[in-house]
Amino acid sequence: MNWRKFNGEPINFPIKDEVRRAIIREKEKGFRLKVCIGTDSQVKGAETEFATVIVFLREHRGGFMFINNEKTTKKFAIKERMLVEVARSIEIAYELCDLFTEYDVDMEVHADINTNPHFKSNEALREAMGYILGMGFAFKAKPDAFASSCCADKIVN
């Protein structure tokens, strides 16, 4: 996976190393951190683009994020695409969760799935919630899932 910072600067180290450095740097500055991980996707013609973000929130002091984009020509039904988004977020959360435990950083996985049953994405809500909670992670869906529905959404739109 190729990660970058919001300003476009590439991250040339494994993402786990970069996250560790960011946590240490922010903790040394005295910030209490929370991390939210989310993925959104957009179908553009024959391609589906996925954007996964790791959002670092500094308590009362703003935040920053790391971004990964990937494109595929695979076709997805809406429910399948929503679950692929969740799987991408969980993959990153699982890779990083020991760091969050080690450094006492709260972490949530955000799913770009609507809690309103009138929206198509709602079809995937139960499975996504079960998947995330079953992995032991805190879960947020729309309208509270800003990492996926706002941050990642801006990257793919």
Burial of 8 (0-12, 13-18, 19+ CB in 10 A): exposed
Which residue segment(s) compose the domain that 122 sits in?
3-156
pLDDT digits 0-9 by tens, 73-111: 999 998 899 899 999 999 999 999 999 999 999 999 999
Instruction: Report percent pLDDT > 70 for the chain.
Output: 99
Provide the domain count of the chain: 1
Q: pLDDT value at position 120? A: 75
Residues 6+ apart with CB under 8 A from 49: 41, 42, 69, 70, 71, 156
Read off the tokens for 40.
């959104």
Q: What is the CATH number of the domain that holds 152?
A: 3.30.420
**pLDDT for 123:** 77
Distance in angstroms (rounded) separating the CA atoms of residues 16 and 59: 22
Q: Are strands 106-114 and 33-44 parallel, antiparallel or unpaired?
A: parallel
Q: Quote the pTM value.
A: 0.92
23: DSSP letter: H
**Residue-level pLDDT at 114:** 81
Helical residues (DSSP H) of 29-136, grouped into ranges: 78-102, 125-134
**125's tokens:** 């809500």
Backbone torsion region of residue 155, taken as left when φ is above 0, otherwise alpha when ψ lies between -120 and 50, otherwise beta:
alpha
